[in-house]
Structure formats: structure tokens, C-alpha cells
Structure 1
Amino acid sequence: MNWNTIAAATLENEHVLLRPVTEEHRASLHGVALDPEIWDYFVSRVDSDEDYTAFFDASLADQEAGRRVVFHITDKHTGRTAGSMSFGNLAEADRRLEIGWSWLGREFRSRDVNRWAKFLLLQHAFETLEAERVEFKTDILNQRARRALRNIGAVEEGTLRSFNYMPGGRRRDAIFYSVLRAEWPGVKERLLSDSKAAPAVTAS
């Protein structure tokens, strides 16, 4: 089996449940997504029902085409939908992938949901897919995301200037972070024990 197939697994621990997105998740994610703060640094915005329909359709299309594995996140402490994260840019030949397209509803940003979702995705990447490198990127202006990535032990690598257009026409500088296979044991220990790893990331 290739990475796209293996990556699309159900992942869970006592805190969160991650499942590949299907049509059945459309309604539950809709209720979380219509929070404008989520999209401040995202490459697209969801400000209306029409925006959400296009956004969710694109997620399904990306997954069907093998461009991403999009996960629906359930907070197991409440049983409620918390948001979504994805594997993307899966370069199996180079043992490299990206974790991103991350967003959480307002009430879940202080509940360690980000911490445990990132833990499960990183664990799956390194221990099942046997990745050598997991990368993240975010807007250089997104201080919350940058702080959260540093807190989980990701290494800041540099900035790609004028990387892409943002809604409204701004050209963003994208800042990259990574975790390497040799670093995973330390990052894993930190995620399992360090409360500083908790802040929510909205990054893509």
C-alpha cells in the first residue's frame, strides 16, 4: 500500500479521535467553521454557508485525488466536533510530508486538542509511515501558531518571502518548521509531558 492509503487511518487516544473526513462530517464541521477568527491567517476564508460548502467540497476533492488526508477531530471529553487537520504534500519517495490545514473551534483552543491531535499525526507519520521529515508552515504574522510549533519542539527553518496570495490580496511570507526522525523521541516525550505544547494552531 502507498502512503495515501496508509495515512488515511483512524487515530485516537483517550483525548481525541481523528477520522478521515467523509460526507457525513459536513454538518458537524459546519457548526464549528463559521467563526471568523479561525480564518485570520488561513489561505482561504469561510464567512458564509456558501464559503463553507466550497471549502468542504475542496477537502473531499483533495482527499479523493490523493493530495491530502483530511481529518475530522472529535474531542473525546465532550464528544463534540473540534475541527480539522490534514496530512499534505506527501512525498513518499523522499519520506517527507506536511501537517497543516489546521483549525479548531474557539472553545477547543484551550483544551489540549491541538496537542493531542498533533501528537497522533506525528506518531502516525514517524512510527507507521516511517517518515524522515514532517514539516509545517504558517504565516509569519501568526504568532500563536509559531509559538505553538516551537512549543511542541518543531525547529524553525526559515522564511519563504512572498510565498502566496492571502484573501484580500496580501502576499504572505511563509515560515517553515520541521521535526526530523531523529528528533521525534524528544518531541514525543515533550508532547506527552509538557503543558506548554497545548496552544492551538491555525496554520496552513
Structure 2
Amino acid sequence: MHVRPVELTQAPVRLVPLSLDHEDGLRAAAADGELWNLTFTSVPEPDDTRGYIERALAQQAAGNRLPFAVLDSASGRVLGSTSYHDIVADLDRLEIGYTWYAQSCWRTAINTTAKLLLMQHAFETLGAALVGWRTDILNLRSQAAIERLGAHREGVIRHDLRRRDGTVRDTVRYSLLASEWPAAKARLLVRLARA
């Protein structure tokens, strides 16, 4: 499995490789709801937006992350960010995460469409055997969204990572196998058609 920068598009979103050119757009998206105040997300604080991008690109250079800017496919406005990460090429596995969107995008087709594009590319182009997700146990919105994708809850890793407020989170892990992808994809397409 060889993961490299790619652009993925299906209305209403376009996923493009993250770059420093997206700094102002990401700052504006994060300001829509002041999302950096949520301690269980990876949303950058306004004065750290450039650092957020630089860290993501450093992880990309190291081969373990592929970050995307999520754009509105019609207007080109930056809506948020998502990534492939924890890429283990010799096991044909990767995770999808570092995902966040402007609050005005919540409860829209944005997340479902972006995840469909990422999962489809992972399973059908890259040949992934497994796609995984992880989220803070307190992030019930994220857990519900991941479960709607058809992912299976594997369990909880207790006392796993430090949150930005200094507390330590428990992490909920999810996965989807390549053999489970066709059924999950069919359900996602039905959901998007209804939206």
C-alpha cells in the first residue's frame, strides 16, 4: 500500500492535500463555533493554525500521515480538515482521523461524503485491508458518526493520551475490514441519497 497526496471530490466536498495556503481558511473554519475550546478535538487555536499545518506536513514527510483540507466543492471555502494517519503500509492498514469541520457543517452531508471518499480510496485504490478510527471517550458526537459509517467498536484504551487541558483521555477504537466495506458503502450511499 503506497499512500501519496491525492485530490478526492464528490459534491458537496473536495479533499485536497493540506498546505500552508489553507492557513486562513482553517483559521476561519475553526472560528465557526470556536472549536478550539473543545478539549477532545484536534482543532487548532487561532494563533497555532500555521503550527498545526506544519506539524501535519512534518508527519506526512515522515510517512505516517496524509492530511487534507476539506473544501466546499462549489465555492472552494475551507470547511475543516481530515487525515489518513498511523499508516502501516506492510499491513495494508491506516486510520482516518484529525477530522474536524466548522460548526455550521455539523449535521450536513459534509462528514459522510468526506468519509465515503476516504474509505473508498483506501479500500478500492490503495488496497487497504483495514481502516481504523479512534476518538476520545467523551466525544459522543464523533463516536456516533463513526458508528454510522459501519465501523465496529473494538474497545477502549484506558488512560491513553493527554488532552489539551492536561487531563488524560480514554480512547475508543473502531475498525472496518475490507470484507465489510461493500455493505458499509451501500448503506452510506443510501444515506447520502436520502440527504
TM-score by length of 2: 0.91
- The higher relative CO (CA closer than 8 Å, separation ≥ 6) is in 1
Alpha-carbon shift at residue 60 of structure 1 (Å): 2.0
Match of residue 153, structure 1, among 150, 153, 170: 150
In 1: Cα distance, 2:95 partner to 2:39 partner: 17
In 1: Cα distance, 2:24 partner to 2:151 partner: 33
Match of residue 116, structure 1, among 113, 122, 125: 113
Q: Compute the RMSD of aligned alpha carbons.
A: 2.1
**1:82-120 superposed Cα distances (whole Å, 9 cap, x missing partner):** 111000111011111000000100111122110000000
Aligned length, in residue pairs: 194
Alpha-carbon shift at residue 44 of structure 1 (Å): 4.9
Question: Is the aligned partner of 1:179 residue 2:176?
Answer: yes
Partner in structure 1 of residue 3 of structure 2: 4
Match of residue 79, structure 1, among 76, 79, 83: 76
CA 1:4/1:103 → structure 2, altered by over 3 Å: closer, same or farther?
Answer: same
Give % identity.
Answer: 36
Alpha-carbon shift at residue 58 of structure 1 (Å): 1.0
The equivalences for 1:55-94 within 5 A come to 55-94=52-91
Structure 1 alignment gaps of length 5 or more: 199-204
CA 1:128/1:45 → structure 2, altered by over 3 Å: closer, same or farther?
Answer: closer
Contact 2:17 2:69 in 1 (8 A): yes
Structure 2 alignment gaps of length 5 or more: none
Partner in structure 1 of residue 140 of structure 2: 143
In 2: Cα distance, 1:45 partner to 1:165 partner: 15
TM-score by length of 1: 0.87
